[in-house]
Structure 1
Amino acid sequence: MTLMNGNHIAFAENVAKVMENMVEIRPTNMVSVPRLFEKIYSRVYENVHQMSPMRRNLFHKAVEVGRRYVYKKYVKHEPLGLLNLQYKIFDRLVFKKIRDRFGGRLSYFLCGGAPLDKTINEFMWIIGIPVYNGYGLTETSPGITISSAGDVRFDSVGKVFKETEIRLEEDGELVVRGPQVMLGYYKNDEATKETMEDGWFRTGDIARIDEDGFVYIVDRKKEIIVTAGGKNIAPQPIENELKLDKYISQAIVFGDRKPYLVALLTPNIERLINLAREEHIDYIDMEELVNHSKIKALYAERIENLNRNFPSYKTIKYFAVVPNEFTIEGGELTPTLKMKRKIIYEKYKELVDDLYITNNNGVISPQKK
């Protein structure tokens, strides 16, 4: 479709150079995965943290007005009145400067690969670059749902395509039937029988559908944690909440057949280094820094605050901060930047297992500082 319309297509050199490439290319629209938006959100708020109090207050006021604006306009469809003028003023003072860092011509993003966190998606709409979330799989060619400007829920992947049927199984798994669904796996009848029945394809994703037809992806069915107490927990929403913290870059939660949840965190290295400088913390490398008593206490406090948002069985009881980010090169991430849960567990098995038996080796319990 892009080529038929005479558009140019550009590809980023690598993950680390996406922002730099956007300034060079000045795209008008772009397709990406949630990890990019997490990085954008983190980078913007890092810059805000370094602003003068006056500019910082201006930014937060702009976001407050922007949040009311996007909810009224795109969710509730209510008259904007004076809010429209307020938003335009803040857009010129604040949001346009942020958009210029993406090349200045970007009108929207398309996002797929995994659900995008509600807070981050909301922020992108606020600054004037809508993110249209879609959902699908290779077996569905690949689309099943897409969000639109006319009707938005920031934590949804949108509504189902025309001529496509969806329903939820008893366990919450989303199944789909439509013209885009495959006929079966090539020369693999056994795999086809496991996933197809009367034209319905089992997606392997746990979802919910609201009364307005919006689809919400909870997590992969195989990722659902069943605790020793019999609680079914989707780790992804908890991980997304953890990643919103300014000192956390990545988070992965474990707890299958265990009495409680634990987490591995990777630090926002830039912010942590800045904090170490402010607090006059001496260290040789990142491993020494994340194991410093002040840094461990910092993360413990932040996890404890996060836990207040969850029922007790969903709280993180123990955690560890590893010194480096999970990467594609390290084998912990897929090419679309999804975490490989099994690989990460195998790589850090000793550390994860230690979270269930001891509180040594730099591991902190937020309940026991």
Structure 2
Amino acid sequence: MREFSLPRMVETLRAGGLADSVYELADREPDRIQFARRHATEPGRWTPVTAAAFRDEVLALAKGLLAEGVRFGDRVALMARTRYEWTLFSYALWSVGAQVVTVYPTSSPEQVRWILARTRAVAVVVEGEDDAMTVGAVCDALPGLRSIWQMDQGCVTELWQRGAGVHDELVVERRWLVEPRSTAVICYTSGTTGQPLGCMITHANLAAECDTLFAGWNGLFAEPGVQPAILAFLPLAHIYGLMVQVLCVRGGILMGHEPELSPSTLLPSLQSFRPTCVFAVPYIFERILGAARNSAQDDGKRGVFEKAMDTAVRYATAVEKQARGAGKGPGPGLRAAHAVFDHMVYRRIRAVLGGRVRYAVTGGSPFSRELGLAFAGAGITVYNGYGLTETTAAITAQPPGRPRQGTVGRPMPGTAVRIAPDGEVWVRGGTVFAGYVDEPAATGAALRDGWLSTGDIGFLDGDGYLTITGRKKDIIITSGGKSVSPQPLEERLRAHPLISQCVLVGDNRPYVGALITLDAEMLRRWHQVVGARLPVGREHAAANKALHEEIQQAVSAANRSVSRAESIRAFRILPKEFTVADGLLTPSLKLRRDAVYKVCAAQIEQLYAS
């Protein structure tokens, strides 16, 4: 199949903008609990915020922004982690017709200068002193920047006070001037190669995305009769995290904020907040499964855990085949084993997420079929989708009740997917962005007669399910002329508990090689189990023969899925993982391949030295 589309499920936004939903919900259901804020002194407690209270805070902040000179159409940058004030500022800015510019708090001074200069931002809201210093370091190059407001220094209260004398009607007048096609946010791409591009996302784009999700997928968000609750922990500077925020506010979903992604902080927050649905990237689900595996090992039940996960995969596979009419479903023996492991293992995995989650959503990077089946068999069906910053997050998603693990689902209602002659995925629909800021050539190259060329390679099956096989620019062409998509092999290797990251190399080389990094915690546990005599630490991993053999087995297993010409013939274990701090990962945890190739040039040469 070369093209597939589905009709719209919701009406296009006809008037107004995103801020309207805040005022409309407060008028309709003023006492509805809209947010939960972490208690100042007791991290396990959450303080409720009603729709009316949130509306009042947004209005007061909007008046403060007007008092400080923010005008209709101005651009204001938000540079902070995922926290309540980020949401508050975004809706206050939209209330006065201003545009939000997203900046990752981990950005370097040069990246901050680039974004603020390109967008001509008049003000920036930062979180802490370090962020303020980063902006301050480039202020001389930003003559149009008038204000820096710091959340941790009480800027919200200060702006409330500044706006006390501004009439409410001034905010209402500006909010009514906002049109659906007006730019709501300038969201920068991750910049895996070259400088990032600023995507102009309109109010209509975000409304179409979130209204379609709520109309078609709201059954996943909570059990009937229960208010959906979502803990937002993805970066709000990323389109995926921002979409989750707008979805919660437009849908009246209870929303909490968690700024830390480390398991030691995130997992306790999930258990105290008790969400009904989780929106995450695949990395989070990998970590959850890894934490469960480590816990089982600590209890001396690693073997039981592995048997339980094997049963989960086989059970979910049988259920999936039955749903497609290709099988009879799990047999009596498999059902019995599944029931036993549900009591022993699966319920503990569900408890990690607070105990109320039965469905989850993932995106942002590849989600392996094996991982999806493992969670489905454990009682949490993960619906993955596919999209870009340019498509306002998801443009395809698994249909409710009919997920096919290993694919990224079908086009969302109101969108279309086309496979170009060279295998590139093209998309169109109401969520496709308006263009790049001050980049007409790049906009013209990306948008062709209403179709967005994604740069990804994939195919559609007979039912319209899309499978992504790699990035067009990431295709490796060996010196023998063989084209290799690195993503499938990298995914298979990352499924091994010891392997945290993998980058395939081999462009213009005689064969494919791999750079592999190891998970520090799993490496420590491997040493305990195997009883290796070498000192514990990744710096010794390359010299450890037993460890090398373990990784070789993983490589050999992955190679069985491809032809010999595509297989990994050599690999190197690197002494440390790729991180955002060293510039080898984007803030959304995507690999910066060109940067990896440059930093690891010596190791790559060693792969081909013989």
The residue aligned with 2:267 is 19
The residue aligned with 2:445 is 194
The residue aligned with 2:526 is 275
CA contact (8 A) 1:204 1:222 kept: yes
The structural deviation recorded for 1:38 is 2.2
Question: 1: CA distance between counterparts of 2:566 and 2:297?
Answer: 30
The structural deviation recorded for 1:97 is 1.8
The structural deviation recorded for 1:27 is 1.7
The residue aligned with 1:328 is 580
The residue aligned with 2:287 is 39
Question: 2: CA distance between counterparts of 1:317 and 1:298?
Answer: 15
Residue in structure 2 matching 1:55, options 292, 301, 304: 304
Structure 1 counterpart SS, 2:462: coil
The residue aligned with 1:366 is none
Indicate yes or no: 2:496 matched with 1:250: no
Residue in structure 2 matching 1:70, options 319, 334, 345: 319
Question: 1: CA distance between counterparts of 2:469 and 2:303?
Answer: 39
Residue in structure 2 matching 1:337, options 578, 585, 589: 589
The structural deviation recorded for 1:194 is 1.0
Worse-superposed segment, 125-134 or 45-54:
45-54
Cα-to-partner distance string for 1:215-249 (whole Å, 9 max, x where unaligned) = 11111111111111111111011001111122212
Cα 1:218/1:289, change in 2 over 3 Å: closer
Cα 1:285/1:98, change in 2 over 3 Å: closer
Indicate yes or no: 2:508 matched with 1:261: no
The structural deviation recorded for 1:313 is 1.2
CA contact (8 A) 2:320 2:404 kept: no
Worse-superposed segment, 153-162 or 182-191:
182-191
The structural deviation recorded for 1:70 is 3.1
CA contact (8 A) 2:280 2:362 kept: yes
Residue in structure 1 matching 2:410, options 148, 156, 159: 159
**What amino acid maps onto 1:29 in structure 2?**
C
CA contact (8 A) 1:74 1:152 kept: no
Residue in structure 1 matching 2:549, options 294, 297, 320: 297
Worse-superposed segment, 278-287 or 145-154:
278-287
Indicate yes or no: 2:396 matched with 1:148: no
**What amino acid maps onto 1:63 in structure 2?**
A
The residue aligned with 2:47 is none
Identity of aligned residues (%): 31
The structural deviation recorded for 1:148 is 2.5
The residue aligned with 1:118 is 369
**What amino acid maps onto 2:593 in structure 1?**
R
CA contact (8 A) 1:140 1:181 kept: yes
CA contact (8 A) 2:586 2:592 kept: yes
Structure 2 counterpart SS, 1:335: coil
Cα 1:68/1:111, change in 2 over 3 Å: closer
The structural deviation recorded for 1:54 is 7.3
Cα 1:349/1:61, change in 2 over 3 Å: closer
CA contact (8 A) 1:70 1:125 kept: no
Cα 1:64/1:194, change in 2 over 3 Å: closer
Worse-superposed segment, 207-216 or 25-34:
25-34
The residue aligned with 1:365 is none
* Higher Cα radius of gyration: 2
Question: 1: CA distance between counterparts of 2:444 and 2:310?
Answer: 55
Cα 1:319/1:327, change in 2 over 3 Å: same
Structure 1 counterpart SS, 2:456: strand
CA contact (8 A) 1:28 1:106 kept: yes
Question: 1: CA distance between counterparts of 2:538 and 2:310?
Answer: 35
The residue aligned with 1:363 is none
Question: 2: CA distance between counterparts of 1:110 and 1:191?
Answer: 31
Indicate yes or no: 2:248 matched with 1:2: yes
Worse-superposed segment, 32-41 or 290-299:
290-299
**What is the aligned-residue RMSD (CA, Å)?**
2.5
The residue aligned with 1:172 is 423
Cα-to-partner distance string for 1:33-63 (whole Å, 9 max, x where unaligned) = 1112222233334444554487347625642
Cα 1:295/1:213, change in 2 over 3 Å: same
**What amino acid maps onto 2:454 in structure 1?**
T
Cα 1:98/1:267, change in 2 over 3 Å: same
Question: 1: CA distance between counterparts of 2:385 and 2:303?
Answer: 38
Count of residue correspondences? 358
The structural deviation recorded for 1:282 is 2.6
TM-score, normalized by length of structure 2? 0.55
The structural deviation recorded for 1:12 is 4.2
Cα-to-partner distance string for 1:76-131 (whole Å, 9 max, x where unaligned) = 48665865963455423331121112211123221111221110111111111111
**What amino acid maps onto 2:372 in structure 1?**
N
Cα 1:186/1:274, change in 2 over 3 Å: closer
Cα 1:99/1:74, change in 2 over 3 Å: farther
